[in-house]
Amino acid sequence: MAEVTQPQLGVTRRPAPGVVWEARPSPGYLQLTWRRFRRDHVSMAALGLFLLICAITLAAPLLVTHVLHTDPNTQDLLNNFAPPSPRHWLGTDELGRDTLARVLYAGQVSLRIGLVVAAVSLLIGVPVGLAAGYYGGRVDDAINAVIQVLQNIPGMFLLIILSVTYRPDPTLLAAFIGFIGWMGTARLVRGQTLSLARRDYIDAARVLGASDARILFRHILPNLTSVVTVIAGFEIATGILLESGLSYLGLGVQPPTASWGNMLQGSLDYVTRAPWLVAAPGAAIFLTVLSIFLLADGLRDAFDPRMRG
Amino acid sequence: MSLSSRVPRAVPPIGLVLVVLLASCVAATPDRPAPADAPPGGQANASRILTVATTSDAVSFHPYKVTDSASRGYQGLVYAGGLVRRNPHDPSQFEPELAERWEISPDRRTYTFHLRADLRWSDGQPITAEDFRWTYEQARAPENGYPYASNLEPIASYEAPDSRTVVITLKEPLVIGLESADVIQPLPKHVWERLDWNDAERNPEIMAPTVVSGPFKLKEWQRDAFATFVANELYFRGRPKLDGITYQIVGTNQIAWQKLRAGEVDQAGLEPEYFLEAKQLPHLATYEWWPAAARWDYIGYNLRRPLLQDVTVRRALAHALDRQALADRLYYGLAEPSYGPYPPSCWCYTPDLYKYEYDPGRARELLAQAGWQPGPDGRLVRNGQPFRLRLLFGPNSNRVRERIATVAQAELRQLGIEVEIQAYEWAAFLDAIKRPPYDWDLVVLGWNATVEPHWMYQIWSEQAIPALNAGAYVNKRVEALYAQAVREFDLDGRKALYAEIQREITRDAPYIFLTVNKAFAAIHRRVGGIEPTPLGISHNLHEWYIR
Amino acid sequence: MTRFLIRRLIQSAFILLGVSVLNFALMRAAPGGLVSLYGDPRISPATIQRLEEQFGLHDPIPVQYLKWLGNAVRLNFGVSLIDQRPVVEKIGERLPATIQLSLAAMVLGLLGIPLGAYAALHRGGLGDNVIRLFTVFGNAVPHWWLGLMILVISANTVRLFPLGGMYTQGDGSLVDRLWHLALPAMIAAMGGWIGYSRYMRSEMLEVLGQDFVRTARAKGLPERLVLLRHVLRNALIPVVTIMGGTLAALVSGSVLFESTFSWPGIGRMAVQAAFQRDYPVLMALNMLGAVLVILGNLLADLAYGWVDPRVRYD
């Protein structure tokens, strides 16, 4: 498993260490990046796929009502485990609910989880990483110690506590996942900040009397755009994958709210009997995470052209 | 637990077991054995060893320490049962087990059991009345922390006047006297006496018994990997026809099923959905039976909630669920609708009960009577308050409960009632339903009932709140009827009392009774001698053989 | 060096202390108690009281923590609340299985480094693209699920892999053990392959573009020496730093993989203990995890100095 990829419960979860990011402030930086990005067919395809998934998921209520003419919660016990057919494109589940409709609605939950995980992880990880990298010394030591302690808290218990202190709410679950996992983000940001803070132009700014806040927000933070963008991508993907792992242990999104993770988990009993129940959420996770990873890869390459494959 | 004549005595018949336990301890509990054969790799047919895949390993072999069903299964293999047992074919009757005969004193308080002459521990020493008495004394000692110590309370004295006679005197004469007296599964005094009762460090017999009385002896136990048992030559019913039994402890239900499917094991704990698939597989023989110890599912009300204290509302909700659809579709026909606290298979059952048949129209009428009227959006309102319920189920891994909850939610929504479902991990679930603030309205649960109808009094008794009576149902008349029935020695008299209890409870509708469930097993065809009875299939485990 | 180690040790002790406080607090804050007692309604409340007393669960939680701490510093982690056996013994039984799987996965995972180096040297070539495809696809499925699906497919078609477990009962030969280890180790190593190869590839590309490499080449140094002495060595430095986390990640990953592959290790034990609320076992396992994380970080730092002689410890 190694840190990079499949995040595991509560411990050592770092976004993929892709690259040591180079900061390169220059006018038109973003335009240049976009121009480079556009030339990469794979990345453009990934972007297209990701946007398509987002669009379909957002439009799920409309699509399900007007195109599929059903509802994710409508049960039809007499027609359970129906194989794919023109009426139910991806078949039905054990309660006769339309699998496609459920996958679409679950997508809203899963994508929201990904986004919230990324947001929380960045909201905590970036400032903490900035502080550690910029101030160094005692501050850095203290933050490091806190991170090391937090890396060792049993995420599982947080989630069990969570499961009773809240009414079923995937967003809160995601916030907790993000809260357990911001340490990796902080470390990456710290590393970047550390190298930026030693640059001549930062020294120059300091000599010119710029305040810490000004240096951090005007000079360092903008240079972290590329890192942060890529981390965000990885965190979204990570959040979606992690939720599936938690569902496997029964600690993910709780039924009857559907997420891709708990649909995947719930379908395991029907692998041989109703393979479409496994395939649908599996494919959804796969395509989404794939597009996000490719997108993040492409962005990283575009930000830093020397890395291009 | 269904099967079980084989459940060791240490868990006496008082056994009301939350069905949930099964689900949480998972699949193949040994007394619902599904042995499986063995060696992967294909020489399965060469071996006379039954191989079973299960997801939960035992904790220990100490019959007076642990409470999990996997441990009880292992213990049932190595330690022989009690003095008597229920007849597997007619569970209302008792037949000899370690005792060859018994007498009951005229005042019905003293039971004298005469042990068989041929009882031997696996080391050749005789099993004596003293073993029983000594074990009883240990179990009774408070410092030994026997979890089911309350089972010993009805006993006034426990004596062994000679090596083959056990005399047990009860505090009062009860219909259930025989069961109350026969609560000890003996341990070999000559071995255990020198060892520590509590500390496994100083008593190797706790984790690896060497001197046993059951059909099998422990050969090897690798925790979380496998446990192997071999036939006990000195078993009092004769050496088992199997050479041994092996439990493979696997990580998930899915793998257990795949192993059974692939013929790699002879038996595995099954979910209902797998059972349907198993029926189609030529190498598996499937067995179904209605267990005398009925398993039934229900939705319980939290009667601490003012809203649910209104019996009209409870009756309305009872009319709202389509039990036949549940039985046919969620249990795949392995269940039947149920309307009262005792299953039709019990001698105590009375058909003369009000049945809350599926009838949404009637449900609406009753709700209207209780003051609940549909608002403009179709949702029920009373005094401006919407009708909202919070339904819990657990453990969250229990797929059947999840489906019941989801179906109930859909059906109640039809009536205009909003149901919020919350699933819990098992320990948290127990906490949620049994500890303040009792923030729930409905709970999906099940009971593994007892063969003897009397013990079920506990789930309706005020004293058992919240342990067995999580919903806090109180009806003094029901409790009085139970107390009367257990002292009524005339069978017709008892029947009348139980009929009245059933009428009283159905009138109160403290539960929505849902289904009574069948027991089932799928076992490799190479295993013969299996005979389903109301007590299950493991009653004659020693006669199972490999073809 | 010695001073560095001493400082790190002292620091680690404080971190462990913090970890233990947090763990203890969280564990006890979680709802639910000993399932073995509360889960069985036949156990009378009085009996439960007595057993809880016996287990020391009636003391105030801070007192319970201090008692635990007093014993833990003497490496006494108490007895399991489920079977009353010493926690150390229980963990000792299962640790070898976890170590076996983790070591195998770690070693296999290191193959990602040469893969990444190869991809960098043949940038844009077929090999590079195949590796990239693998890393991207491999990242997009939950690995526990991939493992389970391979098992199911294998059960229903050609039996390429056994259906879990460490060895065939009654066999246990080396070949048999390796056969059982193969799939779990590969699935657990996937993270390593993907992570190391991606990281190594970009590091190599970075180094290849730097001046000192060009200088070395201009000096006429043979390409092989350039690569070995300059490029590889420099590219490895950052890779080594991420190796520290691998150990801990493997141990935490064992929670999922051990269930999937019926592996009798501490990961499965941890899940069971969590669901049963077997506090002493959980505390010991959590502390073990923390020690591994800290150890991993320390080793990474030391390795850093080894591959990069400029780093000095003081």
A32-71 per-position pLDDT tens digit: 888 888 888 888 999 999 999 999 999 989 988 888 888 8
- B448: domain CATH number is 3.10.105.10
CB A180 within 8 A of CB A120: no
In the prediction, which pLDDT does C77 show?
94
Token duo for residue C101: 């799987």
Q: Please give the residue that has the higher pLDDT: either B145 or B241.
A: B241
Q: Is B16 domain-assigned?
A: no
Token duo for residue C92: 């000792």
Res C84 pLDDT > 90: no
Chains that touch B (3 or more CB pairs under 8 A): A, C
Query: What's the gap in Å between the CA of A216 and the closest CA on chain B?
Result: 45
The stretch B258-274 carries a mean pLDDT of: 90
Q: Do C245 and A3 touch (CB under 8 A)?
A: yes
Distance of CA B143 to the CA centre of its chain: 28
Q: Which amino acid is at A234?
A: F
Q: Please give the residue that has the higher pLDDT: either A64 or A15.
A: A64
Number of H helices, E strands in chain B: 14, 25
Measure the CA–CA gap between B166 and C314, rounded to whole angstroms.
Answer: 78
Res B221 pLDDT > 50: yes
Res B12 pLDDT > 90: no
Residues of C in Cβ contact (< 8 Å) with A5: 138-139, 143, 190-191, 194-195
Nearest to C275 among B18, B39, B426 (CB): B426
Res A3 pLDDT > 70: no
pLDDT bracket for residue A117 (50, 70, 90): very high
The pLDDT tens digits for B445-459 are 999 888 999 999 989
For the ranges B30-34, B158-162, B342-346, the lowest mean pLDDT is seen at B30-34
Token duo for residue B53: 């895949």
Report the DSSP pairing between strands B165-170 and B155-162. antiparallel
**pTM for the model:** 0.87
pLDDT bracket for residue C310 (50, 70, 90): low
Judged on CB neighbours under 10 Å (0-12, 13-18, 19+), B142 is exposed
Query: What's the gap in Å between the CA of A1 and the closest CA on chain B?
Result: 20
CB B152 within 8 A of CB B139: yes
In the prediction, which pLDDT does B29 show?
30
Q: Is C276 on the interface with B (CB under 8 A)?
A: yes
The stretch C243-256 carries a mean pLDDT of: 74
Measure the CA–CA gap between C198 and A304, rounded to whole angstroms.
Answer: 15
Res B71 pLDDT > 60: yes
- The C-alpha angle B391, B392, B397, rounded to 5 degrees, equals 135
Nearest to B424 among A164, A266, A268 (CB): A164
Res B323 pLDDT > 90: yes
Res A288 pLDDT > 50: yes
Res B40 pLDDT > 90: no
The pLDDT tens digits for C182-239 are 999 999 999 889 888 888 888 888 888 788 888 888 888 888 888 877 888 888 877 7
Residues of A in Cβ contact (< 8 Å) with B431: 164
CB B83 within 8 A of CB B16: no
**Residue spans of alpha helices (H) in B147-292:** 177-181, 189-192, 253-261, 272-280
For the ranges B143-152, B314-323, C239-248, the lowest mean pLDDT is seen at C239-248
Res A98 pLDDT > 80: yes
Q: Please give the residue that has the higher pLDDT: either B223 or A308.
A: B223
In the prediction, which pLDDT does A26 show?
53
Res B510 pLDDT > 50: yes
The pLDDT tens digits for B471-506 are 999 999 999 999 999 999 999 999 999 999 999 999
Q: Which domain holds residue B420?
A: 295-517
The stretch B400-412 carries a mean pLDDT of: 92
CB B419 within 8 A of CB B389: yes
Rg over CA atoms, chain A: 22
Res A309 pLDDT > 80: no
- The C-alpha angle C102, C106, C108, rounded to 5 degrees, equals 115
CB C38 within 8 A of CB C48: yes
Query: What's the gap in Å between the CA of A12 and the closest CA on chain B?
Result: 24
Query: What's the gap in Å between the CA of B499 and the closest CA on chain A?
Result: 34
Q: Is B379 domain-assigned?
A: yes
The stretch B415-435 carries a mean pLDDT of: 89
Dmax of chain C from CA atoms?
Answer: 86
Q: Do B15 and C42 touch (CB under 8 A)?
A: yes
Q: Is B256 domain-assigned?
A: no
Res B431 pLDDT > 50: yes
The stretch B144-167 carries a mean pLDDT of: 93
In the prediction, which pLDDT does A39 show?
83
Res B28 pLDDT > 50: no
pLDDT bracket for residue B508 (50, 70, 90): very high
Res B516 pLDDT > 80: yes
Residues of A in Cβ contact (< 8 Å) with B330: 77
Q: Is B278 domain-assigned?
A: no
The stretch A7-26 carries a mean pLDDT of: 41
Query: What's the gap in Å between the CA of A210 and the closest CA on chain C?
Result: 32
Residues of B in Cβ contact (< 8 Å) with C94: 223-224
Residue length of chain B: 547
In the prediction, which pLDDT does B35 show?
29
What's the structural domain count of chain B?
1
Q: Is B111 domain-assigned?
A: no
Q: Is A167 on the interface with B (CB under 8 A)?
A: yes
Q: Is B86 domain-assigned?
A: no
The stretch A189-212 carries a mean pLDDT of: 82
Res B436 pLDDT > 80: yes
In the prediction, which pLDDT does A259 show?
93
In the prediction, which pLDDT does B365 show?
95
Q: Please give the residue that has the higher pLDDT: either C83 or B305.
A: B305
Q: Is B444 domain-assigned?
A: yes
In the prediction, which pLDDT does B543 show?
95
Nearest to C209 among A9, A152, A306 (CB): A306
Q: Is B42 domain-assigned?
A: no
In the prediction, which pLDDT does C263 show?
94
For residue C222, is the peptide bond before it cis, meaning its omega torsion is within 30 degrees of 0?
Answer: no
Q: Which of B279, A49, A54, A16 is nearest to C139 (CA)?
A: A16
Nearest to B329 among A77, A256, A273 (CB): A77
Question: How many CB atoms neighbour CB C103 within 10 A?
Answer: 13
Res A17 pLDDT > 80: no
pLDDT bracket for residue A305 (50, 70, 90): low
Res B33 pLDDT > 90: no
pLDDT bracket for residue C305 (50, 70, 90): confident
Beta bridge pairs of residue B424: none
In the prediction, which pLDDT does C179 show?
92
pLDDT bracket for residue B21 (50, 70, 90): very low
Mutation site for B-interface testing, chosen from A70, A71, A76, A77 by largest number of B Cβ within 10 Å: A77
Res A18 pLDDT > 60: no
The stretch A140-147 carries a mean pLDDT of: 86
The pLDDT tens digits for B85-128 are 999 999 989 999 999 999 999 999 999 999 999 999 999 999 99
Chains that touch C (3 or more CB pairs under 8 A): A, B
The stretch B272-290 carries a mean pLDDT of: 92
Residues of A in Cβ contact (< 8 Å) with B421: 168, 255-256
The stretch B273-283 carries a mean pLDDT of: 91
Measure the CA–CA gap between C207 and C216, rounded to whole angstroms.
Answer: 12
